[in-house]
Amino acid sequence: AAQTEKHGFQTEVKQLLNLMIHSLYSNKEIFLRELVSNASDAADKLRFKALSDNSLYGEDGELRVRIAIDKDNRTLTISDNGIGMTRDEVMTNLGTIAKSGTAEFFGQLSGDEAKDSKLIGQFGVGFYSAFIVADEVTVRTRSAYESPEHGVEWHSKGEGEFEVADTQKSQRGTDIILHLKEDADEFLDDFRIRGVINKYSEHLSIPVQMWKEAVEEQKNDDGEVITPAQEAQWETVNSGQALWTRDKADISDEEYKEFYKTVAHDFDDPLLWSHNKVEGTHEYTSLLYIPKRAPWDLWNREQQQGVKLYVKRVFIMDDAEQLMPTYLRFVKGLIDTNDLPLNVSREILQDNKITRSMRNGSTKKVLQMLKKLAKDDAEQYQGFWDTFGNVLKEGPAEDSGNRERIAELLRFASTHTDEQTQNVSLDDYVERMKEGQDKIFYIVADSFEAAKNNPALEIFRKKGIEVLLLSERIDEWLMSHLTEFKEKSLQSVTRGDLDLGDLDDENDKAEQEKSEEAFKEQLERFEKALGERVKKVRVTHRLTNSPACIITDDNDMSTQMAKLMEAAGQ
């Protein structure tokens, strides 16, 4: 018996629908990219499951997506013969948003349409984007694990509710039937649809097919056939060849950009990309992109990573965390290898020579690509740094093997300009070092202002020695793992026995010793008054304008680190 149930969408879905319909009207066509990409995912999932259970294919082994236009009924139907969904799956997948961090995302929305529409692009609109163009959506689906009488029909007008009913469906997979809104006429046009497919789905590894109209045979007066009769048939309209398997030289920038939008679900072009066929002990192809904008959940270290794993062109998994270190979690793209077994699991990936080698190779590629950008286009690099710099700063701690490579990519504010923009590289700094200077000096403080105005800088300013001004939360962590750069040690200026080496003139030293004698008694009184709160009070010649400053011993935790630990409840 067909059992129809009415359900309300999860609150977040209602919000998403509302937002999408009102902010994405200028970019309507993306609904097709999302639905075709879901169909392609469904085919990937079936192919993957069938690796261990070939019977899942049944009689229907050629996976494809079909798009049909019905002008009379104003519908557009996207059908796949992929994995399909059970009733339970329909309920969760098409009634809620299952992504982690959804609540935080909705917390970030401002009500400002322009801003929110950008955010929503980063969040990923997915299935619900159907309602950008449709006033009614029907989904008919049957799971590869169920028989034809266990099909499910889902229906909604996108207004807060949906219905679910049992149905009969002979073919495995999913049909998405969109009843188009009045202002979405353009998507009843065959040519327009082909254009969109061409733009976004050309390089999916699944054939996308459209119905080719039957053409009657026509003859001229002499009885010669001028238009051959054609059977109406499904015609594949994309190349169906995975982009990354093609030769680099034959792929245009435009193609790389559109492919990025499909894999990363981004609205914007990528900042840069790198496509590599690696041969040698291990063979693999990688296509790695750096986005222009940060995803909304960049700061969630558990967020899904953006690199997909393929084995022999078969999609294996999203977010294969073994393929990219956490500090490069903003990288999107894929790695395809012939060297892993098709039934590879996350457990196998974890401790695997091949994975390690692909990860090392890809990490180096990304660092190289960034280095090149920094060299070729400082302005673009600055944009990258402002967006992802703080993530990259996690690098020296996580990846000691690439510490020097990462260090070259870092940018800091410095007393050279006294501006807040982080645009000084360690190489710039080293180039400007004074005669006799053998260290790179820096200060870490709570804010840029506090760093810039710290009394500990006075002696450096007086002597014209540059100091890096660090004030991000991550900076203390960064500096505790970055003690050297090109054989020069990095030295905090708020550390105890600051040794300026050859930069300290003899005069200063003599002065210091003299003062120490002269102020001996006062120092003892200060120490007594401050008691437990300090370890030692001493005279310094480092200050020029301020009467006193707080410093830490070389082996002690810095004041910043102490604050961080305290905040973390330690």
Q: How far is the CB of 38 from Mg ion (least distance, A)?
A: 4
Which residue lies nearer to Mg ion by CB, 123 or 441? 123
Site string for Mg ion, 77-116 (x = CB under 5 A): ----------------------------------------
For residue 386, what is the enclosing H or E element? helix 378-392
Q: Which does 174 bind (CB under 5 to 8 A by kind): Mg ion, ligand ADP, none?
A: ligand ADP
Q: Which stretch binds Mg ion (CB under 5 A): 119-127, 486-494, 500-508, 535-543?
A: 119-127
Q: What is the CA radius of gyration of the chain?
A: 31
Q: How far is the CB of 396 from ligand ADP (least distance, A)?
A: 33
184: helix, strand or coil? helix
Block residue for tokens 């109406």: 232
Which whole-number Å values give the CA distances from 283 to 389, 481, 500, in the listed order?
31, 33, 51
The three-state DSSP-derived secondary structure of 69-92 is EECCCCEEEEEECCCCCCHHHHHH
Which residue lies nearer to ligand ADP by CB, 137 or 413? 137
Block residue for tokens 């100091």: 467
Q: How far is the CB of 129 from Mg ion (least distance, A)?
A: 9
Q: Which does 440 bind (CB under 5 to 8 A by kind): ligand ADP, Mg ion, none?
A: none
Helix%, strand%, coil% for the chain, nearest 5: 40, 20, 40
By CB under 5 A, the count of residues binding Mg ion is: 2
Q: How far is the CB of 270 from Mg ion (least distance, A)?
A: 19
Q: How far is the CB of 471 from ligand ADP (least distance, A)?
A: 37
Q: Which does 42 bind (CB under 5 to 8 A by kind): Mg ion, ligand ADP, none?
A: ligand ADP
Q: How far is the CB of 262 from ligand ADP (least distance, A)?
A: 12
Write the DSSP symbol of residue 365: H
In 291-346, DSSP assigns E strands to 306-311, 314-317, 332-337
From the CB of residue 93, how many other CB atoms can be counted at a distance below 10 Å? 17
Q: Which does 394 bind (CB under 5 to 8 A by kind): ligand ADP, Mg ion, none?
A: none
Q: Which does 195 bind (CB under 5 to 8 A by kind): ligand ADP, Mg ion, none?
A: none
Which residue lies nearer to ligand ADP by CB, 82 or 455? 82
Query: In terms of Cα–Cα distance, which of 406, 384, 391, 307 is closest to 349?
Result: 307
**CB within 8 Å of 94: residues ≥ 6 apart:** 85, 127, 139, 154, 162
Which residue lies nearer to ligand ADP by CB, 139 or 426? 139
For residue 304, what is the enclosing H or E element? none
List the structure tokens of 191. Answer: 């040519």
Enumerate binding residues for ligand ADP (CB under 6 A): 34, 38-39, 41-42, 80, 82-85, 93, 124, 126-127, 174
Tell which one of 95, 121, 126, 333 touches Mg ion (CB under 5 A): 126
Which residue's Cβ lies closest to ligand ADP?
A: 126
Q: How far is the CB of 37 from Mg ion (least distance, A)?
A: 5
Tell which one of 23, 38, 285, 558 touches Mg ion (CB under 5 A): 38
Q: How far is the CB of 55 from ligand ADP (least distance, A)?
A: 19
Which residue lies nearer to Mg ion by CB, 38 or 156? 38
Distance CA 66, CA 209 (A): 5
Q: How far is the CB of 160 from ligand ADP (least distance, A)?
A: 17
Rounded to 10 degrees, the C-alpha dihedral 242/247/249/254 comes to: 0
10 Å CB burial of residue 8 (0-12, 13-18, 19+) is exposed
Which residue lies nearer to Mg ion by CB, 126 or 291? 126
Q: Is 174 in the site for Mg ion (CB under 5 A)?
A: no
List the structure tokens of 56. Answer: 């899942």
Which residue lies nearer to Mg ion by CB, 38 or 558? 38
Block residue for tokens 């390690």: 356
Q: Which does 82 bind (CB under 5 to 8 A by kind): Mg ion, ligand ADP, none?
A: ligand ADP
- Positions in the binding site for Mg ion (CB under 5 A): 38, 126
